[in-house]
Amino acid sequence: MDPDSFDPACATVRQLLSTYSDVIAELRRREIVRTNDSPLGGLAETLAQRAYGGTLATNSAKSYDLITGGGLRLQVKARRVQRSDRRSQKFSAFRSWDFDAALFLLFDADDYSLVWARELTRDETQELVIYSTHTNSSTLTTRQVAGIGADVSALLAATYDGLSVPGNARSPHEDRAEHWARIIVSKITGAAVIHHDDGTSNGMPDAIISRSHGPAPLEVVGDWDSEYEQQRGAFERYGRRIEIAPDAPSWYVTVAHRASVKSLVAKLPALLRRHEGELSEDVPDELLRLGVEHVHRREGRYGHVLLSPAGWNSWEDRRSFGEWLDSFIESAADVPAKLAAFGGDEQHMFIWLPSLRSWAANEQLEGDEDHPFPQLPPEPPNLPANVTDLWIASTLVRPLKGVLRWNRLDGWSGEFFDFSTLPDTR
Could you report the per-residue pLDDT of 179-198, keeping only the tens digit for each?
999 989 988 887 778 888 87
In a domain, 395, yes or no: yes
As a whole number of angstroms, the distance between CA 319 and CA 181 comes to: 25
Element containing residue 405 per DSSP (H, E): strand 402-407
Domain boundary among 255, 284, 309: 309
Residue 102's SS3 state is strand
Which of 6-10, 89-93, 346-350 bottoms out in mean pLDDT, i.e. has the lowest? 6-10
Residues 45 and 117 in one domain: yes
Per-residue pLDDT at 329: 94
Asked if residue 255 and residue 106 are part of one domain, the reply reads: no
> Across the chain, what does the average pLDDT equal?
84
**356 in Cβ contact with 317 (< 8 Å):** yes
Percent residues over pLDDT 70 in the chain: 88
Angle at 240 between CA 221 and CA 422, to 5 degrees: 60
pLDDT value, residue 1: 45
Q: In this predicted model, which residue has the larger pLDDT, 93 or 167?
A: 93
State yes or no: pLDDT of 418 exceeds 50. Answer: yes
The answer to the question of residue 19 being in a domain is: no
Look at 288 and 234; give whichever has higher pLDDT: 288
The last residue of a domain, from among 124, 139, 160: 160
Quick one: 125 and 60 in the same domain? yes
Q: Which run of H or of E encompasses 123?
A: helix 122-128
- Phi/psi of residue 41, nearest 5 degrees: -65, -45
With cut-offs at 50, 70 and 90, classify the pLDDT of residue 405: very high
Question: Percent of the chain having pLDDT more than 90?
Answer: 36
User: Of the candidates 196, 193, 155, which has an alpha carbon nearest to the alpha carbon of residue 389?
Assistant: 193
Report helix, strand or coil for 298.
strand
**pLDDT at position 164:** 61
Residues 58 and 149 occupy one common structural domain = yes
Say whether both 41 and 155 belong to one domain: yes
Q: Is the pLDDT of residue 177 over 50?
A: yes
- Whether the model clears a pTM of 0.75, i.e. scores above it, the answer is no
Q: Is the pLDDT of residue 214 over 80?
A: no
Asked whether residue 336 carries a pLDDT value surpassing 50, the answer given is yes
Is residue 389 situated within a structural domain?
yes
| Of the listed ranges 162-176, 253-267, 290-304, 406-420, the one predicted with least confidence | 162-176
Q: Is residue 11 part of a domain?
A: no
Please indicate, yes or no, whether residues 254 and 107 belong to a single structural domain of this protein: no
Give residue 5's pLDDT: 65
pLDDT given for residue 426 in this prediction: 46
Note the pLDDT tens digit of each residue in 124-166. Answer: 999 999 898 888 999 999 999 998 999 999 888 878 876 765 5
In a domain, 4, yes or no: no
Residue 356 confidence (pLDDT) above 70: no
pLDDT of 44 over the 90 cut: yes
Q: Please write the tens of the pLDDT for every residue from 22-37.
A: 899 888 877 788 889 9
By residue range, what is the domain housing residue 178?
167-225+313-421
Answer yes or no: are the C-beta atoms of 141 and 89 closer than 8 Å: yes
Same domain, 202 and 266: no
Helix pair angle (39-52, 13-29), 10° resolution:
20
Residues 42 and 92 in one domain: yes
Contacts of 169 (CB under 8 A, 6+ apart): none
Mean pLDDT along residues 228-237: 76
Q: Are residues 46 and 145 in the same domain?
A: yes
Instruction: Say if 148 falls within a structural domain.
Output: yes
CB 371 within 8 A of CB 410: no
User: CB within 8 A of 73, min separation 6: which ones?
Assistant: 63, 64, 66, 67, 98, 99, 100, 101
Question: Is 398's pLDDT higher than 60?
Answer: no
pLDDT of residue 75: 95
| Structural domains counted in the chain | 3
**pLDDT value at position 52?**
83
Give the model's pLDDT for residue 169: 65
The answer to whether residues 235 and 307 touch, using CB atoms and an 8 Å cutoff, is yes
Residues 403 and 415 occupy one common structural domain: yes
Distance (Å, rounded) from C-alpha 272 to C-alpha 317? 34
Q: In this model, does residue 414 exceed pLDDT 90?
A: no
Q: How many helices (H) and strands (E) does the chain have?
A: 12, 19
Q: Average the pLDDT over 236-255 and give the result.
A: 87
- Among 118-132, 219-233, 275-289, which stretch is predicted with the lowest mean pLDDT? 219-233
Q: How confident is the model at residue 39 (pLDDT cuts 50, 70, 90)?
A: very high
Residue 9 included in any domain: no
pLDDT in tens, 376-392: 888 999 999 999 999 99
Domain containing residue 82: CATH number: 3.40.210
Question: Considering 289, 309, 329, which residue would you say is the last residue of a domain?
Answer: 309
Q: Is residue 283 part of a domain?
A: yes
At residue 370, the pLDDT reads: 64
46 in the same domain as 145: yes
Q: State the Rg of the chain over Cα.
A: 26
Which has more confidence, 60 or 263?
Answer: 263
| Contacts for 262 with CB less than 8 Å, ≥ 6 apart | 234
Q: Which of 63, 84, 83 is nearest to 74 (CA)?
A: 63
The verdict on 299 and 326 lying in the same domain is no
Which of the two residues, 33 and 398, has the higher pLDDT score?
33
